Structure 1
Amino acid sequence: MKKLLLATFISVQLFASLQELTSFEADFSQSITDEKEKVLTYHGRIVALKPQNARWSYIEPIKKDVFINDFQVTIVEPEIEQVIIKRIESNFDFFKIVSSAKKIDQNTYVAFYRETKFTIVKNGDFIESISYLDEFENRVKITFENQKQNHTIKKSIFIPKYPIEFDIIKD
C-alpha cells in the first residue's frame, strides 16, 4: 500500500517540476520487480490536475481507482467491494519536493524524497518514465504513453464514486 501511495504522490507531482504543467493525462504501465526478478505489471490511465488532484485508474490485472484530493487518498477496489480512505500529511507539498529534481543529462532528471532516489526520463516535453527502489528494495518503473498536457479537466472526475454497500476502511 505504501509503495502505491508513494508512487502516486511522487509521479503525479514530478510533472510540475520538469515543466509548469496544470494538467496531465496518460496511459501508464507500472512494473514492480522483486529481488528474485519476479515482475508484476499493472496497466491503466492517470489524470492529474494541479495542485493536488489525481486519479489513477488501474485496468489490468485488476480494476482499481486511486483518487488523490488535497489531503486525502481514496482507493476504490470494486472486485472486493472495498474502499480505503487515508489522510495525507498536511505539510506534504508535492510540488516543492519535485522542484528539486536535477538534470543529469539531456533527458534524465533525479529527485530525492524521504531517502528515495527517483529517476525521471523525458522524451521531448513529455515524461517517458519514472523509476525508483521502494521500501522493500523492489525496482519500480512507471512508463507513460498517449500523454496530454495543460488541457481542461473537470474537477468532478477526482471525486470518488462507489456503491453504498462497499465496505469502507478509514486509516
Structure 2
Amino acid sequence: MKQLWTLLILSGALAASPISVPENFKSDFEQRITNPDKKVIHYKGTVRFSDEKMLKWVYEEPTRKEVCSNGENVTVVDHDLEQVSYYLIEKGFDLAKILNSAKPYKDTKTVFIAKYAGKNYTIQLDAKKHLWRVAYYDDLDNEVLIIFDKMNYGKGKLPLKSLLCEAPESYDVIGE
C-alpha cells in the first residue's frame, strides 16, 4: 500500500513537469511489486488524474479496491473487505521535483533518470511522449514498476465526481 501512496502523491506534480504531461489523463495500468525475496505481486486496473493533484486508482485484480487522493488525504475503499479507510499523507512524494531533476538517460529522449530524497527513479515515455512506465524502490526495498496502457491525455479538469471514492454506508469505516 505504501508504494501506491507514493504514486498518489505523484499526481500533484505532473503539470509542472519538464516532461510533457496533460492537464488530465485516464489509463489502464499494471503495477508489479517485487519484494527482496523476488516474490511478485501483480495489480491491474484503471487510473484517472486531474487538476494537478486529484488521482483515483481503481484496482480490479487481484482484489477490488479504489484509492483516491487529493494530495493531502487518501481514501481507500476495499470492496472485498467491505471497508473504507481514511488517511492523511505524512510523507510526501514530489513528482515535479523528480521530473525537474530528471535527466535523459544517455542520448535517449524517452528514458529519464532522477534522484529525489535519496531514491532513484526511472521514468519512461512512449513514442507520443506520454507517461508509460515509472520504476523505483520503495521504503521496504520492494521494486515497484507501474506500466500505463491505453494512456489518454486530455485538457481541462475531469468531473470531480469521477475522482472520488464512494462506498456503501454498510461498509466498516477506519480512521474517519
- TM exceeds 0.5? yes
Cα gap change, 1:161 to 1:133, in 2 (>3 Å): same
Q: Normalising by structure 1, what TM-score?
A: 0.88
Is it true that 1:155 corresponds to 2:144 in the alignment?
Answer: no
Gaps of at least 5 residues in structure 2 are: none
TM-superposed CA distance for 1:158, in Å, is: 1.6
In terms of mean alpha carbon deviation, does 148-157 or 120-129 score higher? 148-157
Contact 1:67 1:74 in 2 (8 A): yes
Distance of 1:139 and 1:90 partners within structure 2: 19
Match of 2:77 in 1: 76
Contact 2:33 2:40 in 1 (8 A): yes
Contact 1:29 1:43 in 2 (8 A): yes
Deviations 1:50-105 (A, max 9, x none): 22101000000101000012421101001101111111259875534533322223
Gaps of at least 5 residues in structure 1 are: none
In terms of mean alpha carbon deviation, does 159-168 or 141-150 score higher? 159-168
Q: Secondary structure at the match of 2:96?
A: helix
Cα gap change, 1:91 to 1:114, in 2 (>3 Å): closer
In terms of mean alpha carbon deviation, does 38-47 or 82-91 score higher? 82-91
- State the one-letter code of the partner of 2:6: L
Q: Secondary structure at the match of 1:80?
A: coil
Deviations 1:26-59 (A, max 9, x none): 1000001122222110000000002210100000
Match of 2:2 in 1: 2
In terms of mean alpha carbon deviation, does 113-122 or 42-51 score higher? 113-122
TM-superposed CA distance for 1:144, in Å, is: 0.7
Q: Secondary structure at the match of 2:52?
A: coil
Cα gap change, 1:95 to 1:61, in 2 (>3 Å): same
In terms of mean alpha carbon deviation, does 40-49 or 91-100 score higher? 91-100
Distance of 1:139 and 1:166 partners within structure 2: 32
Distance of 2:139 and 2:90 partners within structure 1: 19
| Identity among equivalent pairs (%) | 29
Distance of 2:104 and 2:12 partners within structure 1: 16
In terms of mean alpha carbon deviation, does 137-146 or 97-106 score higher? 97-106
Cα gap change, 1:143 to 1:166, in 2 (>3 Å): same
RMSD: 2.2
Q: Normalising by structure 2, what TM-score?
A: 0.85
Cα gap change, 1:101 to 1:13, in 2 (>3 Å): farther
Cα gap change, 1:15 to 1:82, in 2 (>3 Å): same
